[in-house]
Amino acid sequence: MVESKVIHEITQLTGKDVLYIAERHKKEFTYPIHNHKVFELNFVEHAPGVRRIVGDSSEVIGDYDLVLITSPDLEHVWEQGDCTSDDIHEVTIHFEFDFSDNSIFSRNPFISIQQMMQEARKGLSFPMDAIMRVYQQLNTLCSVKDGFYAFQQFLTILYELSKCDGAHTLASSSFAKIEVTSDSRRVTKVKNYIEQNYTKEIRLTTLADLAGMSPSAFSRFFKLHTGRNLSEYIIDQRLGYASRMLVDSTNSVSEISYACGFNNLSNFNRIFKKRKGCSPSEFRENYHKTRIIV
């Protein structure tokens, strides 16, 4: 028997509504892959073995998992996987605040939250120390009856998460349709070139010339600023576009492979399976299970 407890129950965040907070104790995940226009912070505990899919990211979670998603187009789901727990605890918070440049969240006390919200357009997974920092507040949020104090406590959770180190993005920017940005104009220039030319052969010398550096110096510079080798970055971008085409088009795997800059189908299949943990066909089949928008 699945127990479900919903506090501040709101079917859609419209009008004067601020938060939707749902706490559940259950034995399995059954909700299909989906997306929605509102932001989501989702906390799961006691569910090791569950597979969490956010965009083209697929990871098996441990005892604790906390993810923030702020893109309306980013599909996500928690699947049962190998989890055998009989007491999965989940807290889901839906919210929709104005984070535009003219809102209160653009002012100094909220800058770290605003930056985190931008990162979370690709899905943002928080490390254990960050989860433990807000664990008590997440667990008691459903019991706060006064809407103002619930909102205040939730803002505190967001702020604490925005100040932590070690959070990592999940979906690739190309899959999530997120514009690339960087603290370096040279890196941004190179990334934009890759975005516009990922279907073609991309030479190191061309990118180094764009940055005004020698190829060896540029390779070191790019890894320093992105944390990834240039070749790995290009492959990840191509895989992101390929994953999106697998979801949104009826093109064959072969057509998608060549359209995304892979000139060898077997090489594409091998790299895709290594990075995604499944074949392109299996990835498409997973996403074509009942998909809903709420």
CA geometry: angle 168, 174, 179, nearest 5 deg: 85
Please name the residue ranges forming H helices in 127-184.
128-140, 147-162, 173-176
User: What mean pLDDT is predicted for residues 33-45?
Assistant: 93
Q: Pick from 138, 169, 200: which residue ends a domain?
A: 169
For helices 215-226 and 185-197, the axis angle rounded to 10 degrees is 100
For residues 144 and 77, membership in a common domain is answered with: yes
> 47-67, pLDDT tens digit by residue?
999 999 999 999 999 999 999
Band the pLDDT of 260: cuts 50, 70, 90. Answer: very high
- Examine the domain organization and report whether 224 and 276 are in the same domain: yes
| Distance (Å, whole) CA 279 – CA 271 | 9
pLDDT for residue 182 = 63
Tokens for 274?
């290594």
Q: What's the rounded Cα separation, in Å, for the pair 181 and 191?
A: 8
Shared domain check, 18 and 136: yes
Give yes or no: residues 146 and 237 share one domain. no
β-bridge pairing 124-125 and 64-69: antiparallel
For residues 287 and 248, the answer to whether their CB atoms sit within 8 Å is: no
Same domain, yes or no: 57 and 91: yes
Domain count, the chain: 2
What residue numbers bound the domain in which 81 lies?
3-169
CATH assignment of the domain containing 207: 1.10.10.60
The rounded percent of the chain whose pLDDT value lies above 90 is 72
| pLDDT tops 70 at residue 259 | yes
What is the side-by-side strand order in the sheet with 76-79?
A: 57-60, 51-54, 76-79, 34-35, 292-293
144 plus 200 within the same structural domain: no
Residue whose C-alpha is closest to residue 49's, from 86, 12, 75: 86
52, two tokens:
């969490």
Q: How confident is the model at residue 192 (pLDDT cuts 50, 70, 90)?
A: very high
Helix axes 204-211, 185-197, angle to 10 degrees: 140
In the predicted model, what is the mean pLDDT of the chain?
90
Give the end of a domain, one of 146, 169, 192. Answer: 169
Query: Is 75 found in the same domain as 217?
Result: no
Q: Are residues 110 and 242 in the same domain?
A: no
Average of pLDDT values for 218-231?
A: 90
Residue 58 and residue 145 in one domain: yes
What is the mean predicted confidence (pLDDT) over 98-117?
90
Q: Are residues 146 and 282 in the same domain?
A: no
Expressed in percent and rounded to 5, the helix, strand and coil fractions of the chain are: 45, 20, 35
Q: Phi first, then psi: what are they for 230, rounded to 5°?
A: -60, -45
3-state secondary structure of 141: helix
User: Do 142 and 205 belong to one domain?
Assistant: no
Examine the domain organization and report whether 144 and 199 are in the same domain. Answer: no
* pLDDT at residue 13, rounded to an integer: 55
Whether residue 171 has pLDDT greater than 50:
yes
pLDDT tens sequence across 123-156: 999 999 999 999 999 999 989 988 899 999 999 9
Cβ–Cβ under 8 Å, residues 91 and 138: yes
pLDDT at residue 184, rounded to an integer:
78
Q: What is the pLDDT of residue 70?
A: 95
Q: What is the mean pLDDT of residues 277-287?
A: 92
Residue with more model confidence, 6 or 79: 79
pLDDT tens, position by position, 75-89: 999 999 999 999 999
Residue type, 46: H
Residues 6+ apart with CB under 8 A from 72: 35, 36, 37, 38
Among 169, 199, 231, the domain-final residue is 169
